[in-house]
Structure 1
Amino acid sequence: MDNGSTKQTVVLFPGGGVGHVGPMTQLANVFLRHGYDVTMVLMEPPIKSTDSGAIFIERVAASNPSITFHVLPPIPPPDFASSPKHPFLLYLEMKLQYNEKLESFLCSIPRERLHSLVIDMFCTQAIDVARKLGVPIYTFFASGAGVLAVLTQLPALLAGRQTGLKELGDTPLEFLGVPPMPASHLIKELLQDPEDELCKTMMKIWQRNTDTDGVLVNTFYSLESRAVEAFKDPMCVPGRVLPPVYPIGPVVGKGGTDKEEEAERPECLSWLDAQPERSVVFLCWGSKGTLSGEQIKEIAAGLENSGQRFLWVVRTPPSAGIDDVKRYLEQRPEPDLDVLLPEGFLERTKGHGFVVKSWAPQVEVLKHPATGAFVTHCGWNSTLEAIAAGVPMLCWPLGAEQLMNKVLMTEDMGIGVELEGYKAGFVKAEEIEAKVKLVLESEEGRKIRERAAELKTEAAEAVREDGGSSHAAFLQFLSDVKHL
């Protein structure tokens, strides 16, 4: 690219939420490295007073001065409290109303300078804007190729059914590119009656995700080659030619505390410095994952009985009776460890355990030489961060696409073991004790640790600028945009 005046601008449009803005920011940095200007378009959070994500976004903007952040003029948010509609449907309706504002913004950029619009999986309503303006449009799928393969094939499966998939229980379903997937492990909303409005809306989103000019996927070829190849198979979605899929990952954070206000190094990292190599199990359930008070006490018992070193992020349990969407938006107070943990636990485990309230610098913890295993909710960001760091995983999915990720991690990738009990919503102390010991100490665990080390090397090689598969896929994407 030439000097600033002739640089082309890529517009990124994430769907909101920490789990979407974070990966989009990492993608922005890939475009910056290739010489593009990047503008990230954001919408005002609909529930501002309780949305901790707003603070996160301010922090992201402050720590990424090379990215331009543009907040669309706000529209009145929906009345979540009084509407009989599901909050997710209201949120999508609100996003549709933003199309006009998005169009105005795109029109403010000279067409010859506008390279492309890249949306995330929940911004498919913006496809109509790009098509109207003749702007190349791509989906950035922040989860893996395996999950994208399942979701792309699901609408055809559901189209022939009169009833939902819930009645199938754990019956394995066959999809191209992935191991058999238990019906119960699909996204909860998709198990309902196919005529249910929420189910139909979700299906439309998955269909439209591949209505763009191509899909950038946060994965790398050797990790999910079967799934990537599935999109080229005419039987993937019979009667439809799918757009190109570009595996360009792992697009993950490099580290840095993400908390600009913290000048000194977090205490948990200093504690890790004093621990033997690969000896600590790190426990964290993502930016929004929470567990019940009873479950927290059970984890404490399992960790204490295991005798293993641990670094554990504890959050305040969700309020009783709060629904999934409100739980996602809820701003929780700092946890009271004296109430949540068994009496004397902190004292008894002082020598080999460290409990962090609410937040830890996850990328740095995973990269630390002392970290030997990771108890995770199987969110894709966390999964890729662990793969890039070479850390084996203990899988404890909570919802969304995490159960599908668990199947891929344990059966396809060979880098995780499941913690039994997650399906029933409660993992017992004995299971935690046994599986932590298995991964850190046993022969079976040694194989998983070796596999994790192999994938760490493959992940690093994929993004190398001298022949990495993901680097090549990104260059192919840039070439394809020019020829549209």
Structure 2
Amino acid sequence: MGETIVLYPSHLRGHIVSMLELGRLILKRHPRFSVIVILSSASAAAAAPTLVANSSSITVLHLPPSTAAAAEDKQTHFDLARHDASNLRLALAAIAAAADLRALIIDVFSDAAFPVAAALGVPTYYYFTSGAAALAAFLHLPTLHGSTTKSFKDLGDETVNIPGLPPIKASDMPWDVLDRSWRMYDYFLDACRNMSSSSGIIVNTCESLESRIIRVIKEGLCVPDRPTAPIFAVGPLVESKVDGDEGGGDKRERRHECLSWLDSQPSRSVVFLCFGSEGRFSAAQLKEMASGLERSGVRFLWVVRPPPQDASAKSTSGSNDGDDTSIEKFMPEGFLERTRERGMVVKSWAPQIQVLSHGSVGGFVTHCGWNSTIEAVHAGVPLVAWPLYAEQKVNRAFLVEDTALALPLSMSNEDGFVSADELAKRVAELMVGSGEGKVVRERVLAARDGVVEALSDGGSSQISLAAVAALWKRG
């Protein structure tokens, strides 16, 4: 098999997609390598056949189910990789015996693989699927941990200073590290320390998009008490298969109806609202959003997921997308009829990359997930930032305060509720405003040009990939 690079993503669909894109990029730019992707048993549902259909040049191996995993009721993303550690060791040993294994690239949530690879003498690199802003926050976590005995959630509105980032509230730190009593907090703490000790960190961003933050990380300011691993900004990597499936099933053969609707809309006139595969809102918030869109007077395409079972304003728990509940019941009475000439509401899923690339789309209200962010920037679509979970509030700080690629939304401190008037104001400002909205629109177009240049031959991302590939070739 020759010189081989092994990729080990977490079980999360978006992380698998991003890791597969990295594998394709390696093969395209450095075809001397063979690429193997190892998927955990928990990845079976997320990595449906449609997800790897465009990866025929990549060898995909599936780890057998772990008996330890079945014994635990509540498992974190890190636990799933921890349970697969023994099976991973066997797989890596078999690959090393049959091929020239040059490197293992792992997801942050696959951190349990780090000591496994170290024991086998395999150089290990982390692939950080988010951007440099979130990476800076995580790399600095051990330092912040040593500076206080309190959890971020208890520090509330107190300012947290992270090198390279605008000051953020403690409560805006990534969701999984808000409480130091949580098991996830300890796992992240270990992963952040291991990243600093790894052979390198490959980041899904580019120099033009996050140049200052990348420079600060490389200078060691985020990890002041030890050397920082080499940083390689090789992105942004956007899913190459534009008709990707959200959750399995047969490849979508027909063009989605929302694209036909967009065909009939004026250029750059439609604002797109979509909040990722896990973003949900309460029924009250959905009605408020509908009222805001109606008041804005702007054309819209809105992807709506049924509310969670609890009463919170937003949630990432549960899944009832498959039920037969009509989205009309969550809308104000008569809303769909009153807005049918200028709006379209789609239940649960839309082909996001195709939508953002459509000439009729001129704005994007987003949860600030990194994949969504780079897809929008790649398409030159300006943003309204509505973060919900994970590291999205850190991304918002980068998008709004650091780069002016997005407009902010004022939210209630208690539950993150956004009023109809606030949404209407920001959407109208983004689409037709002459003030901050115009600045954001211009900044995003400039960022798009920078991304295109970074990904081109001789661009900064290709240079970074060549640099890390040179390390692999050396062995």
RMSD: 2.2
Is the Cα contact below 8 Å between 1:14 and 1:24 reproduced in 2?
yes
Matched, 1:240 2:226: yes
Unaligned 5+ runs, structure 2: none
Is the Cα contact below 8 Å between 1:334 and 1:357 reproduced in 2?
no
Is the Cα contact below 8 Å between 1:396 and 1:422 reproduced in 2?
no
Match of 1:464 in 2: 456
Match of 2:11 in 1: 16
CA offset digits 1:324-358 (Å, max 9, x no partner)? 99826776535512211222222111111111111
Is the Cα contact below 8 Å between 2:160 and 2:169 reproduced in 1?
yes
Match of 2:110 in 1: 123
Which amino acid in the other structure matches residue 78 of structure 2? L
Is the Cα contact below 8 Å between 2:104 and 2:125 reproduced in 1?
yes
Equivalent pairs counted in the alignment come to: 464
Is the Cα contact below 8 Å between 1:19 and 1:287 reproduced in 2?
no
Stretch deviating more after TM superposition (288-297 or 34-43)? 34-43
2:138 to 142, 151, 165: 151
Give the 3 Å change call, closer, same or farther, for CA 326–380 of structure 1 in structure 2.
closer
Match of 2:25 in 1: 30
Deviation at 1:184, TM superposition (A): 1.2
Deviation at 1:190, TM superposition (A): 2.3
Match of 2:421 in 1: 430
Matched, 1:293 2:283: yes
Which amino acid in the other structure matches residue 27 of structure 2? L
2:466 to 466, 475, 479: 475
Superposed, 1:81-160 pairs within 5 Å as 81=73, 87-88=75-76, 91-110=77-96, 112-160=99-147
Is the Cα contact below 8 Å between 2:54 and 2:241 reproduced in 1?
no
CA offset digits 1:206-245 (Å, max 9, x no partner)? 2222221000000000111111111232443223111100
Give the 3 Å change call, closer, same or farther, for CA 198–113 of structure 1 in structure 2.
closer
**2 CA distance for matches of 1:292 and 1:282?**
19
Match of 1:49 in 2: none
**2 CA distance for matches of 1:120 and 1:87?**
17
Superposed, 1:69-84 pairs within 5 Å as 69-76=60-67, 77-79=69-71, 81=73
Match of 2:446 in 1: 454
Which amino acid in the other structure matches residue 289 of structure 1? G
Match of 1:281 in 2: 271
Match of 2:172 in 1: 185
**2 CA distance for matches of 1:477 and 1:285?**
34
CA offset digits 1:41-79 (Å, max 9, x no partner)? 111229xxxxxx715533212343222221101113345
Superposed, 1:328-339 pairs within 5 Å as 332-333=322-323, 335-339=325-329
Deviation at 1:387, TM superposition (A): 0.6
Match of 1:441 in 2: 432
CA offset digits 1:175-232 (Å, max 9, x no partner)? 211111221110234232x455443332112222222100000000011111111123
**1 CA distance for matches of 2:93 and 2:228?**
29
Name the SS of the counterpart of 2:202 in structure 1: strand
**2 CA distance for matches of 1:360 and 1:335?**
18
Give the 3 Å change call, closer, same or farther, for CA 329–480 of structure 1 in structure 2.
farther
Match of 1:50 in 2: none
Matched, 1:372 2:362: yes
1:342 to 327, 332, 335: 332
Name the SS of the counterpart of 1:310 in structure 2: strand
Name the SS of the counterpart of 1:210 in structure 2: helix
**2 CA distance for matches of 1:109 and 1:201?**
27
Match of 1:42 in 2: 39
Name the SS of the counterpart of 2:302 in structure 1: strand
Is the Cα contact below 8 Å between 2:308 and 2:315 reproduced in 1?
no
Match of 2:238 in 1: 252
Of all paired residues, the percent bearing the same amino acid is 38
Give the 3 Å change call, closer, same or farther, for CA 351–234 of structure 1 in structure 2.
closer
CA offset digits 1:432-455 (Å, max 9, x no partner)? 110000001111211111111111
Deviation at 1:264, TM superposition (A): 2.1
**2 CA distance for matches of 1:326 and 1:446?**
33
CA offset digits 1:58-102 (Å, max 9, x no partner)? 321234322222110111334554xxxx632xx534422312211
Which amino acid in the other structure matches residue 67 of structure 1? I
1:409 to 399, 413, 416: 399
Name the SS of the counterpart of 2:197 in structure 1: coil
Name the SS of the counterpart of 1:300 in structure 2: helix
Is the Cα contact below 8 Å between 1:363 and 1:385 reproduced in 2?
yes
CA offset digits 1:350-375 (Å, max 9, x no partner)? 11111111111101101111111101
Matched, 1:397 2:387: yes
Matched, 1:360 2:345: no
**2 CA distance for matches of 1:475 and 1:327?**
40
Name the SS of the counterpart of 2:310 in structure 1: coil
Matched, 1:218 2:199: no
Give the 3 Å change call, closer, same or farther, for CA 234–307 of structure 1 in structure 2.
closer
Name the SS of the counterpart of 1:277 in structure 2: coil
**1 CA distance for matches of 2:394 and 2:388?**
11
**2 CA distance for matches of 1:9 and 1:430?**
55
Name the SS of the counterpart of 1:117 in structure 2: strand
Deviation at 1:408, TM superposition (A): 0.3
Give the 3 Å change call, closer, same or farther, for CA 335–404 of structure 1 in structure 2.
farther
Stretch deviating more after TM superposition (356-365 or 260-269)? 260-269
Which amino acid in the other structure matches residue 258 of structure 1? G
Name the SS of the counterpart of 2:429 in structure 1: helix
**2 CA distance for matches of 1:188 and 1:284?**
20
Is the Cα contact below 8 Å between 2:282 and 2:308 reproduced in 1?
yes
**2 CA distance for matches of 1:443 and 1:344?**
32
Is the Cα contact below 8 Å between 2:106 and 2:125 reproduced in 1?
yes
TM-score, length-normalised on structure 1? 0.90
TM-score, length-normalised on structure 2? 0.92
CA offset digits 1:457-478 (Å, max 9, x no partner)? 111100101x100000000011
**2 CA distance for matches of 1:180 and 1:315?**
33
Name the SS of the counterpart of 1:87 in structure 2: coil
Give the 3 Å change call, closer, same or farther, for CA 273–56 of structure 1 in structure 2.
farther
**2 CA distance for matches of 1:329 and 1:481?**
42
Give the 3 Å change call, closer, same or farther, for CA 329–345 of structure 1 in structure 2.
closer
